């Protein structure tokens, strides 16, 4: 999925993916589990470092590797935190406004 989908009517969870960090693999696995539970209610996106699209999003939001960003339905950044969040924590973070 592309970052242009942010702000198109669904919340978007974006993970800043660095292939050199072990936590990146674990976090994407947890995101996939959360996606299985939430289905089409949330966009689950990856911003990979050292790619034009990823680096643009990272610069725009002053994000760091292994950071998770949550955007509301209008595309406003509302939460950010470093990985690792398990699937239950992600779901709570997205749906219930958890920390």
Q: How many residues does the chain have?
A: 99
Question: For the whole prediction, is pTM greater than 0.85?
Answer: yes
The fold of the 3-95 domain, in CATH, is Glutaredoxin (3.40.30)
Poorest-pLDDT segment among 50-54, 76-80, 93-97: 93-97
Measured CA angle at 2 (ends 59, 60), to 5 deg: 15
More confident residue, 99 or 64: 64
pLDDT in tens, 40-71: 999 999 999 999 999 999 999 999 999 999 99
Question: How many CB atoms lie under 10 A from the CB of residue 59?
Answer: 9
CA proximity to 1, closest of 13, 25, 75, 9? 13
Determine the average pLDDT of the residues in 74-88. Answer: 95
Helices (H), 4-86: 22-38, 52-60
């Amino acid at each position: 999925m592309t970052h242009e989908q942010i702000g198109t009517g669904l919340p978007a969870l974006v993970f800043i993916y660095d292939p050199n960090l072990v936590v990146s693999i674990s976090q994407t696995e947890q995101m996939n589990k959360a996606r299985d539970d939430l289905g089409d209610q949330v966009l689950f996106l990856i911003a990979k470092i050292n790619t034009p699209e990823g680096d643009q999003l990272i610069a725009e939001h002053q994000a760091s590797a292994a950071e998770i960003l949550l955007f509301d339905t209008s595309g406003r950044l509302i939460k950010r935190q470093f990985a690792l969040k398990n699937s239950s924590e992600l779901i709570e973070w997205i749906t219930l406004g958890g920390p």
